[in-house]
Each structure stands twice: as structure tokens, then as C-alpha cells.
Amino acid sequence: MASDFEEGVLDDVDAICGWGGADFDDELLGRGWRRASHQAPAKGGIKRKPEKVLASSSSGAALGKAQQQQQEMTGLSPDKRLRAVDGISEKKDRSPVLRKPKRRQPREIKEPQQQIIAKPSPRTTSILEENAAIAALGRQRRMKVVAAAMAANVPRKQGIASVVSASFEGGSDDEHTDSDSQRRRSDDLVPSSAPQNQQAKLPRVIEPSTAPARPIDPPKKVHPPLPLPLLSINPNAGGNETRLSGKDDTGFGGATCASRLCPMGAAWVDRAGGIDLAHQPAECSAMGRCDRATGTCTCESGFEGLACERLACPNACSGNGRCLSMRDAATLHDDRHFYASTTYTLWDADKIMGCQCDPGFTGMDCSMRMCPRGDDPLTTGQVNAVQTITCTCNSCTGTFALSFRGRVTANLASTATSSDLETALEALDNIYGVTVVAAAPLCSSGGASTSITFTNNPGNLPNLQVLNNLSNGGTVTVSTTTVGTRENVYCSNRGICDFSTGVCKCFAGVFSGDGALAASAGPRGDCGYQTGASVCPSTTNGVCDGKGTCSGTPSFVCTCNAGFTGFDCSLRSCPKGAAWFDAPTAPNTAHALTQCSGRGSCSTSTGVCTCLAPFTGAACDLLKCPAGTSTVTGASCSGRGTCKSMQQLSAEATDPQGNPLGVTYGATPNTLATWDALKIQGCDCETNDYFGPYENAFGDFTGGHDCYARMCPRGADPFEVGKVNEKQTLTCTADGGQFTLTFRGETTAVIPFNAGTAQVQSTLQAIDSVRTATITFDSGTTVCSTTGVVTTIEFTFMQGDVPPLGFDASALTLTSATASLAVAELAKGSKANIECSARGVCDRTTGSCACFPYFLSSDGAGNLGRRGDCGYISPYPSVTLS
């Protein structure tokens, strides 16, 4: 609990500040309990009289209490004294409790009033931790802090921590001797009515008044309240600071910790960080905007997920299919769309989604109906597919079943006959006829083989799949004995499929067949039965629509010219591109060529792809750059950038210090891991030099993916101490010629060997990556000499640890020897390089900093200047420039 001494002084402060009726001061000073006078009495208890609010004249009585308290605490260790003063429990895990009144309970109360345990909230806990640090300043200094907060008219809920270091510096008062400490208390707590023997360090504490409050000017040479690096309470912070560490809570960012962070995912587009190394994590996966108020991503059209991390299935598969990832597609084996079970682990394994259509549906979004497939009735010399089942079973029991293209037969016992097997197979709706030849039964101890001929299912068929439930180690295997060579094409290549209805429109003289090798009329609807003359299909434009050649007897097949397709060459074909989504055929092998890249619909009348968002290109083979804020049709990157492929962007990649990395992405053609190098595009945002009232304010258009926002000027944190600018030396030994300097990828104009400081400075400052610098020579008036001149270059605009200057000295000459040029680091830049100097908020629409109160634009050295970076501490309130 707090001492009586502290209670008296704090009551004075409460009365003066008008805080007497509130419990905020208790939380603020870290005691963790509410005043007993403000608590409702327990049921059945005695109602206590409200504690009298003390006026400032009670400070004399408080001084007497202080002297008595000092004597009582003389024998205690400093830690125990601190805990006694501040009411901090000696046990760290003890919850703050409500202070029990010290009054003696009436005798009729049999049980003492119970203490009410109040579990502090995370925000209160943070305040307690902060004020524990304030408490370490010592009791007298804390009283001064409260008085200073009052004198500076600090709002009650803003707190007192923001004036700690601005008004008082040094260690704890507890470091002084007891006599010295007692003398200091006596000096500082003289009642306002008593004569003062020495000048007070702070404005005198005055009596409370009913007159309207007015601001009290702070004493001269005392700075107004300032945010502190570790003990800052910003009224706009929203309570998300971890106050003693200076870090934000998880999920929050920005100088005030009021901005929410958004989920991250592998970037859809970025610059490579190494050879063929890209797609690093980025907020909203670099394909959406982050709403800082809510921490949610607004994704570009066609993308979904909390972090915009997935390319959505087209049209949600039209309700006729299942949406799945490339990773999932690799493991499926349905013999309809996915014909191999393998693995896929490249960067897009869980990002690109596609459709597995239900039986009877097809297309990128499962919106088209499949037409019957069959064998061309005019082709000859073909055979049916034959498969063999081998069953080995030694006195086993149980059953097994067979699956064909997703359909599963009834269970078959080990003792089943060939007739049982044939009946089970033909019961499936996708098997139109088989012939089974087998010994009876299907299984034996030595292994029995059964031959299955697919008489009415043309084509190269997938093997039957076994679902084995035999006991005693019984096995069933399937192998292909004869590969089917008959065609298995839409409408048997003798008609046109209407994909809206799934019905074939057969050519004259061709009708629906039964699918047999020697076809007869049947119900398949496949145009597989020929009754008329054997001729190539013709249209009003002639044989093969005039767009192809007829093979003649015996097959009479049209061979279409480039750009045309169909059994009669009347349809236009669309361009192909690497599929965005398809079934992997081998480990990490996918993205085969397909019409419209599998993300567009082909118009067979024009041969043009209509692409789904966000794709573009003749074959829908390019990921479109986002439009951003641009309202111009077809414009991208908010009109402030250039749309480039990942390969182009990676060629411009730089390291954190701005030096070109010299890396490539997808430089080797047809590399599986970089299949997207020329397909995925992103914005290369422009750089603009002037966004506001400060002549040196600058920034790139940024915002990640669409150049919609601007970066703000960066600078050093004004609370840093002992930090320096980067200094480098340039040693030139030459008596003729010229040289150039390079910094962060930019190269200067040529600098003559006899250039003076002004010419070297102006040439270096002409490149945007330098802007301002100071130049000094150690001797002479030229940058080079026969004995060597050391030029010191101090980077005054680009702060922090900057990369070394590059140079080209090949054009320098020296009469007596070989000319030389060398660069060395004299002083490593140690200043921070933070947006708005961490003392303001960046306005992304203008690229200018909205500085916190008492912070203005600096010159990079802590003085008032035109950087636009909030790096200058002003003794006056901030003003808004327009």
C-alpha cells in the first residue's frame, strides 16, 4: 500500500488538478487499486464518510508525515522502500486488490469486509509497467512530474509519462542520503502560504479555484511535453503500444501503433532476391490493398483469401465441380481430368486454384456440357483395349471391387465367376460393353488371370483401379494387355458438339452408334454409325469448308489449315499458352500449353480468347497489372508506373542499401520452377521528386502492387543521441583525365581531375540517390593531384549506413605512374532512416508527413529545415503548411 506521506501529497495534487473524484490517478501511478472512499460499501457494512479533499495547505502536515515516514523506512532496503511507497506487491504474480479501509470495524460486524480482487486489463498492466519505471525516479521527482504536468496543462487522461524526461533528468532521488533526501522534500513541499527561502524550480502549487481553468505558460528554458522513445503516451495511439519496449503489439504498426497490419502471403509479383528466387512474403500477397483501420485486405479481382493469397476458381466452377489447388490436383487420379498421382510443391502449389468438373461437364469453369465420344466409323485397322486381372488368394475370404473413371463396381468375392465380373462391370454407366474370359473362380492360390476386352469403349483406356478387401494377404493386380487404338473423340469426328446442350449435330449420312468396332446403330448419340457415302465433310464453302484438305479413301478425314479446327475445318482455333491451372503429370511438372491458357473462353467463329479477370494477352497468358486509381480505360498502375514482367522487374532488383543485385529470374527458357517469369506482371512505380511544401521532400509511388500511394520523406529520429552521418573518402592520384562516381545504381556525369569542391559537389548532388552532400579536400584546390588528394564526402541527405561509392577511373592519367582512385569509409552512418522520422504519420495520398505536435521538418541535422521528415523538435506547437 502507499504510505501516508504519499497519500497526503497525492490528495493535494488531486485537489489542484481536479482529480479528486476519479480513480484514474490510482491506475496512472501504478498502485493498482481504487480509493476506498469511492467504493460502494459492502452489503451490511457501515457506510463511511467521504474522505475530505485536502487543499494545498495540507502540504505542511504532509511534510511532518514525511519526516516520520522517513525514520520508519531508514532500515529498509531501497527495493522495499520503493515497493512501500508505490504500493507494488513483493510477489509479482499477485493481482492488484482494492485497499481495505484502515477504520476499525464496528463490533456488530462479525466478519471483516472481504477485499475485492480486480484483475487488471492488458492496458492497465501496460500502464502499471510504465509507471513502475516512473516510480524509479524517486518519490520527490514523481511529485515534481505531477506538478509539471499540471503546470503545462496536460489533459488528465493523457498521463504524466510524456513530461518525465522533458522536465527532469538524472537518477533516482533515492540515490541521495536520507538527510539530503529529507532536506529536498522539505524544500519542495513548502506550503504555498509559507515564506520561501529559495526560488522554486517549478511554478508554485496554487490553491484550487472555481474560476475557469486557463493554460499556464511553462517556465522559461523548460521544453513543453514531448513524446519519449520509451515512456511516451500518445493520445492517438489507441492503446496498442508496448510502452517500455517501444514496440507495437502484434498486428499493429505505424509511429502511433494505431495502424493495423494485414495478413501476409507469398507475393504474386516481386523482384527476385537471388537467381530464380522470388515470391517472398508480402502484405496482402502484393495483390491487394491493406485497410489500416481494420487490418483487412481488399483483393484485386480474381483473387481471394485473407491475404489475397489464392487465385480463385473461375466462376466458382459454375456449381458443377470442385475447386482445388495445384497441390491437391497432383495427388488426385480420377481418369477423367487427372491421369497421374504425383506431387507438386512449387511456389504456386497452394495459390492457383482450378476446377475438377463433375461427370458430364467440362471447360475451365465446368460450364460446358460434354458431348458423347466415339470412334470414327470410317477409320480402319484399329483394335479394342484389353486388360488382365490377376488375383492371388490362398484360402482367403473377403471381397474386392473395381473402379473405372470414378465409378465403382459391386463387391466381388474371391470365388466369383467371369459372369459375375462381366455383370458388375457393365452395370457401371460409363462402361458400354465388355467381354470377360476367365477361369472359375476369379482367384486361386497360384494366381488366376482374367482377360477383359472393352468392346464398346474406344480409345486408350486407363487401367481399372482395385479396391482390395481380401484377407490372408490376397492380392489383385491389373495390367494392360492391348492398348486400344480406336479414336475416342467428340461426336466420333463426324459431327459438331453443342457444348451448351451436350448434343452432337451429326454430318449427313452419319447417325448415333453403339460404340462397337463394327458399329451398328445405337443409343450413344456419338455420330459413330455411317450409312451414307464415304466422303469428306463439306460445307457451303466446299470440302473441308475450303480451309483444309481431304485425305480421301478410306478414312476421308479433313486436315485443317493453321488456325482452323473441327471435323470439317469450319471452326477457328484460339491461341495457346502455358496453362495457369492443370493437372501435374510428374513431380513439379505442370502448366502445359492449352487453348486460352485455361483462363479464357475461345470463340470458334473468330478464334479470339475472351479472358477472365485478371488475365490478358491473346492467349490469356499474362497476369494483368492492376489499374489502381486510374480511371482511364486500359490504364494500369494508377497511371504512375510501368507494367513489367517478373523477369524485367528482377533485372532491376536492388539490395536494402539500393545497390543493384544483378540477378535474373527465368533467364533459362522452359525452366519448370520459373514458368511464370514472362507471364506474371507487376508495376514498376515511378519516382517523383516534389510532393509538398518542402523543397527536398521526395518519395516513390508505392503501396505495393498498383502505385496508388506515396512514400514520405525519411529521416533520423530526433531523440537519437550521438548519431552521425555517413562519411567516405575518395583518394585520387592523377594529373589528367576524368572519372565518374556511382551510387545506388546511378552514375554521375564525368568529373575532371582538376575539379574543385563546388564542381564535385554539384555533380554528385545531381543524382537523386545523393541529393545533398558536403565536400572537403585535405589539401589543394583540385580533386586529384600527383601526390594524391583525399576528398571527404559527407552524406547529409541520405542517412543511415549507406553503401560505398562506386567509380570508374579508367579515363584518369598520371604522367609519372599509373593513376589511381580509391574509396574508403571514414565514418559509418548511424542515424536512423525512418519514414517521417518516427514522429509523424505519412499521408499516402500526398506523400507528406503529418508531424506530431511539437515536431517539424528538419535539415537532417536536428535543425529546422526542408526535408519534410518531422525530425526537428520545436519549442512551439506545430503549424500546418499549405
What pLDDT score was predicted for residue 709? 82
> In this model, does residue 198 exceed pLDDT 50?
no
Q: Which of 39-48, 678-687, 800-809 has the lowest mean pLDDT?
A: 39-48
Residues 298-311: tens digit of each pLDDT: 999 999 999 999 99
pLDDT higher than 60, residue 696 = no
φ, ψ (nearest 5 deg) of residue 387: -125, 155
Q: Is the distance from CB of 592 to CB of 621 less than 8 angstroms?
A: no
Residue 485 CB-density burial (10 A; 0-12 exposed, 13-18 middle, 19+ buried): middle
Task: Give the pLDDT mean for 450-471.
Answer: 94
Q: What mean pLDDT comes out for the span 685-712?
A: 62
Contacts of 278-286 with CB under 8 Å at 24 or more apart are: 278/347, 278/646, 278/650, 278/665, 279/347, 282/704, 283/307, 283/704, 284/308, 284/704, 284/705, 285/309, 286/682, 286/704, 286/705
| pLDDT tens per residue across span 568-621 | 999 999 999 999 999 999 999 999 999 999 999 999 999 999 999 999 999 999
The per-residue pLDDT for range 623-648, each reduced to its tens digit, is 999 998 877 777 889 888 899 999 99
**Which run of H or of E encompasses 792?**
strand 789-795
Q: What is the pLDDT of residues 31-53, one digit of tens each?
A: 333 333 344 444 444 444 444 43
Judge whether 746 and 660 are in contact, CB under 8 Å.
Answer: no
**In the predicted structure, residue 830 carries a pLDDT above the cut 90:** yes
The more confident residue out of 751 and 92 is 751
Amino acid at 392: T
Smallest Cα–Cα separation from 282: which of 233, 346, 351, 236? 351
Question: What SS3 class is residue 164?
Answer: helix
201-214: average pLDDT: 39
Q: How far apart are CA 488 and CA 458, in angstroms?
A: 6
How large is the average pLDDT for residues 755-776?
94
User: Strand pairing partners for 729?
Assistant: 792, 824
pLDDT of residue 452: 97
Q: How far is CA 286 from the centre of its chain?
A: 7
pLDDT in tens, 398-452: 999 999 998 999 999 999 999 999 999 999 999 999 999 987 789 998 899 999 9
- Please, what's the b/e burial string for 236-261 (b: 16 or more CB within 10 A of its CB; e: otherwise)? ebeebbebeeeebeeebbbbbbbbbe
- Contacts of 279-285 with C-beta under 8 Å, sequence gap 24+, read 279/347, 282/704, 283/307, 283/704, 284/308, 284/704, 284/705, 285/309
Where does the pLDDT of residue 333 fall: very low under 50, low under 70, confident under 90, or very high at 90 and above?
confident
- Any idea which of 214-223, 277-286, 693-702, 707-716 has the lowest mean pLDDT? 214-223
Given a contact cutoff of 8 angstroms between Cβ atoms, the answer to whether 134 and 169 are in contact is no
Count Cβ atoms below 10 Å from residue 157 Cβ, excluding itself. Answer: 10
Other Cβ atoms less than 10 A from the Cβ of 20: the count is: 20
Q: How much of the chain, in percent, has pLDDT values that exceed 70?
A: 68
Percent of the chain with pLDDT over 90: 51
Distance CA 366, CA 555 (A): 33
Of 146-160, 190-204, 707-721, least confident by mean pLDDT is 190-204
pLDDT of residue 407: 92
Domain boundaries, the chain: 4-188, 264-306, 307-370, 383-482, 489-572, 727-830
14 DSSP 8-state letter: H
The closest of 115, 81, 87 to 101, measured between CA atoms, is: 115
- Return the minimum-mean-pLDDT range out of 87-96, 767-776, 863-872: 87-96
Q: How far is CA 212 from CA 17, 18, 21, 215, in A?
A: 13, 12, 18, 10
Helices (H), 407-495: 418-426
Mean pLDDT of 211-239: 36
Report pLDDT for 377: 92
pTM, rounded to two decimals: 0.65
Please tell me the predicted confidence (pLDDT) of residue 123: 56
What is the spatial distance between Cα 65 and Cα 270, in angstroms, rounded to a whole number? 68
The confidence band for 214, taking pLDDT boundaries of 50, 70 and 90, is: very low
Q: 520 or 124: which carries more pLDDT confidence?
A: 520
What element of type H or E holds 60? helix 59-72
Query: Residue 604's beta-bridge partner residues?
Result: none
CA separation for the pair 538, 471 (Å, rounded): 60
Residue range 713-717: mean pLDDT, rounded: 89
- Residue-level pLDDT at 634: 76
- At residue 660, the pLDDT reads 86
Q: Give the pLDDT score at 655.
A: 84
Q: Which residue has the cell 476446377?
A: 355
User: How far, in Å, CA of 362 to CA of 127, rounded?
Assistant: 62
3-class secondary structure per residue, 514-573: CCCCCCCECCCCCCCEECCCCCCCEECCEEHHHCEEECCCCCCCEEECCCEECCCCCEEC
> Quick check: 203 pLDDT over 70?
no
Which helix (H) or strand (E) segment holds residue 601: the answer is: strand 600-603
At residue 611, the 3 state secondary structure works out as strand
Phi-psi region of 284 (alpha: psi -120 to 50; beta: other; left: phi over 0): left
Q: Which of 49-63, 105-119, 317-331 has the lowest mean pLDDT?
A: 49-63
